[in-house]
Amino acid sequence: MRKITIFILFWLIFISSGCTNQSALAPTQEPKGKLPVIVHIKTKNEVVTVLSGQTEPLYNVTTKDGKILGQYLSAQQLQENLPGIYRLLKTSYTGNPNIAVIWAGIDH
């Protein structure tokens, strides 16, 4: 039950961050202190860590072997720098913690 709650909270935060008209605040260096982790998402080749930033979720993306592809990226930066990962996250959802489903519907 806890996993379902975490996934629901993650997607509410993720969706609401894409619906606002905020300018992307791009950290230029690692934030001071450790940011809370919302969720780790593993794909076939990458690991995406979603962090709770001060104004919006931030994304760290690494390969499975540890190569850093992006650190502390806003949703806009993730879309610009790693569009495949962004599309995967934006169009994914889960209703069951044991099943991940890719949604192929219209992106609003």
Residue type, 44: K
The CA distance from 64 to 47, in Å, is 6
Please list the rounded mean pLDDT of every run of 10 residues in the chain (108 residues). Answer: 61 54 45 83 92 93 94 95 92 65 54
Following DSSP, what letter does each residue of the chain receive, concatenated? -HHHHHHHHHHHHHHHHHHS-PPP---SSPPSSPPPEEEEEE-SSEEEEEEE-SSSEEEEEEETTS-EEEEEE-HHHHHHH-HHHHHHHHTEEEEETTEEEE--S---
pLDDT of residue 21: 41
pLDDT of residue 99: 61
pLDDT of residue 92: 76
pLDDT of residue 56: 92
pLDDT of residue 39: 87
Angle of helix 83-90 versus helix 2-19 axis, rounded to 10: 120
Task: Judge contact between 93 and 11, C-beta under 8 A.
Answer: yes
Residue 1 is encoded by which pair of tokens? 């039950």
